[in-house]
A and B are shown apart, each in its own frame.
Chain A
Amino acid sequence: MTKIHVTTTVNGDETEFLCDPRETLLDVLRDRLNLTGAKEGCGTGDCGACSVTMEGRLVCSCLVLGAEAEGKDIATVEGIADGDTLHPLQRKFIEHAALQCGICTPGILVAAKSLLEKNPDPSETEVRYWLAGNLCRCTGYDKIIRAVMDAATEMREAS
């Protein structure tokens, strides 16, 4: 099948790739751009492990076609840290032991960052409902919720 040429921006870098029209944005990120931080847990938009933002909006990259990235601004887990300085969410996840196996962590970090950009002072319930699209099978979510709330507090105090 003829491939499509796509020009896009990923984590601030201008990027070009060729993709099959059937490839998802997740396929492109992982297999063509070597950004394997986003994970495929289901391929049907139910688990959130592939979460990225497109034009600042949280999406499941398994439900976006690679070709749809044309001219768009994509952000993935690989772009969250600033050089060797971790984002407060990343630090708090380590500090609170908010991950066990870590497969859902990239998606949850992307989703939580997106929440705190919209709502810097979420309630526990708001965090729980915002993250309801990100499955974690290890933790029971307790430490994840605490890490997100703690990062939010730190970020509010710093701003």
Chain B
Amino acid sequence: MALDDRKSDFTFIGTRPDRPDGLDKVTGRAKFGADAVAPGMLFGAIVRSPHAHARIVKIDTSKAEAMKGVKAVVTRADFATGLTGEFWNVQENVMAGDTALYDGHAVAAVAANSALDARDAAKLIEIEYEVLPHVTDVDKAMEADAPVIRDGTADGSVPEGMHPNVVRYHESGHGDVAAGFAAADLVIEDSFKTEATHQGYIEPHACLASLGADGKGELWCTTQGHWYAQKHCAALLGIETSQLRVTASEIGGGFGGKTTVFIEPVALALSRKANRPVKMVMSRSEVLRATGPTSSTSMDVKIGMTKDGTITAAEGVFRLQGGAFPGAPMEFTAMCAFAPYALENVRQVGYDVIANRPKQAAYRAPGSPMAAFAVESVIDLLCQQLDLDPVEVRLKNASKKGTKASYGPRFDDIGLVECLEAARDHPHYSAQLEQGQGRGISCGFWFNHGGETSVSLALSEDGTVQVSVGTPDIGGSRASMALMASETLGIPYENIRVTIADTATLGYNDVSHGSRVTYASGLATIKAAQAAIAEMCKRAAAKWGIPEDAVKWEDGCAVPSGPNAGDFEPLAMADITADMGATGGPISGHFEATPEGAGVSFGVHIVDAQVDPETGKTSIPRYTVIQDAGKAIHPAYVEGQFQGGAAQGIGWALNEEYVYGEDGRLQNAVFLDYRIPVASDLPMIDTVIVEVPNPGHPYGVRGVGETGIVPPLAAIANAVSRAAGVRMFELPMSPPRILAALKADG
């Protein structure tokens, strides 16, 4: 059986069947995080710091504990001690220790008979604070006189003489940038800033936890990774990992923000203390104050170019503020920054800076969109000043197979040139612009990820199939798994049911992140199906009395091949499964490994912007996303990823931002003030799916989820800058910023 040959002619893959969870989701019966109940359930509420930075002097819980209906109050004293590394950081974030590190930091929690009682009881917990000096801006946090937030956090990578708030450092590149700049006809260097944004999933964090004094527990939660939740909750509570069974609910959006834990360990601690199940649901304001956001950034980018558009050297310095904890993805920012371009001389530097803000969490291609904003803006300035076409310049310098990437390795098959050619040839790129409009383009890059993956596939007697995967379905992945299983097995899509298994019924799975699900769980599903096929061929061989390798699998049937071809009637899958009990027992296939051929991803966006010089308001009349999907399994959901990434990028570019006051408190912690794009803000978003197969996947799949948010910031900035006639160096390009830039420009 030539199972390892890459398939290219497909029967089911590339079609657009209804998603298996569609009916549940249009009728309201799908169960999300907050939709679960348990007998005897209590409701939890959290008390949060109103200060950006304060020592916790005293917590008095007596009044809350005395309130009728209150069953448990917990503080940091109710969690495990002696944790180190990331466990300790997560614990510090989930429940403050000696010091509240940001506005919204959890300090205590209470469980009561009703949600209203819990909220009332939370107000009775009295906390005495000693307010400390704070800093929330990335540049100010690096200045010599900035308050030290967590001394001793810096690791060995940080050069001597840096402020203690600089906690990690990255440097990479190759060639001789000084010589490269000397060879340029034009060198442009500029500085850029971006504000923090939130993932903005519509479903707040929610969980239902049950933990007993015997150390055995159950947790239901909305998460991108229930094994991650299991491991971290167990560590924070001081129980054994395997004794906590975690089930992932339907997830109402994550975009990276649900790759960690917040309320889950707290609900478990309350449950253990009260000996009752505890449900916790965050308010939107808690979501904005205490979860998510991205890093804010401050960046300097310098690029040299010859008159014909060849980039001779590129250099970038990227400072990322990631809240009061190490982990801002500055190395991703640095490594992604120049990845679209084949450069002989390139150098990138990253700083991870802590400040009095919530712990940053991943958001779709974490760190990459900001880098693209800075780099692609400078390339656009070079194109304007050298009077060059922006797509042609990018084509001239584009990375291709064999290029030594700016971050080190050599690229295998990649689709950037194909994306740029599709952009050049797209009618959008040559369409006439109206008065007051500008057009911008940008490339975008993301690594994509494999990660630890387990899949189990079991055959039923009637020849249908159940697939258990461990990666929560955040955008239709059950449909793509079923398509890949049906393609491999040669049976209809409808005969396959895909379930997201809980932590007790499947081996370990890494989080649904890094655009890894369709790639890694898909590869695992294919391999598991191939294992089941091998067993079915074995059963057919035994029945026919011929060698196993003389049986091949074709269109859902075992078929005699080679010298035995035509000797026996093909055996359909349902014929083999019907008597599998008598021919050797149940048939299933499984896969446990860490796939490492994720295949990097590139995209190109074209956007038209219209700027109203009176109000500074920008509208987006036209938008086109072009991206390499490797192979689109379910094209409608690939388009959906492209469109969703673009829409989030539009919000980030034009409007969304964390606004902190002088007091270090978040000023816009509701959706009215943290305004994400609504339907009337956006145009239809056109999509072009480019398919340059990924050599690391049996069907050529590349992850598509994240790259779509990388180009929009820069593409829109380039369009707005051309429309307004003034370059924008800071995001978001909200009306006041555009008016200020127009005024400064005279």
Contact = CB atoms under 8 A, between A and B. Distances in A.
Contact of A44 (B646, B671, B679): B671
B217 interface: no
Interface string B668-708: 00111000111111101100000000000000000000000
Interface string A47-68: 1010000000000000000000
A90 B251 CA distance: 20
B358 interface: no
Contact of A39 (B16, B116, B252, B283): B252
A158 interface: no
Interface string B30-52: 11101100000000000000000
A96 B17 CA distance: 10
Interface residues of B, number: 60
Interface stretch (B79-87, B197-205, B401-409): B197-205
Contacts of A131: 678-680
B644 A137 contact: yes
Given A40-B34, A46-B671, A96 B636 contact: yes
B253 A101 contact: yes
Contact of B202 (A38, A104, A133): A104
Contact of A142 (B114, B474, B685): B685
Contact of A78 (B23, B28, B203): B28
A36 B678 CA distance: 24
Nearest to B475: A100
Contact of B679 (A40, A42, A128, A138): A128
Interface residues of A, number: 60
A41 B27 contact: no
Contacts of A99: 22, 25-26
Given A23-B116, A36-B28, A41-B202, A140 B685 contact: yes
Contact of A137 (B23, B116, B253, B284): B253
A101 B679 contact: no
B640 interface: yes
B647 A139 contact: yes
Interface in B228-280: 250-255
A51 B580 CA distance: 51
B28 A132 contact: no
A76 B27 CA distance: 10
B116 A20 contact: yes
Interface of A: 20, 22-23, 27, 30-31, 35-44, 46-47, 49, 76-78, 80-81, 86, 90, 93-97, 99-106, 109, 124-125, 127-129, 131-145
5 A-B pairs with the lowest CB-CB distances in the bound complex, closest first: A37-B28, A103-B252, A140-B647, A102-B25, A140-B643
Given A97-B637, A137-B199, 12 more contacts: A35-B28, A37-B27, A42-B670, A43-B284, A100-B476, A106-B26, A109-B26, A133-B678, A135-B676, A137-B202, A137-B648, A140-B644
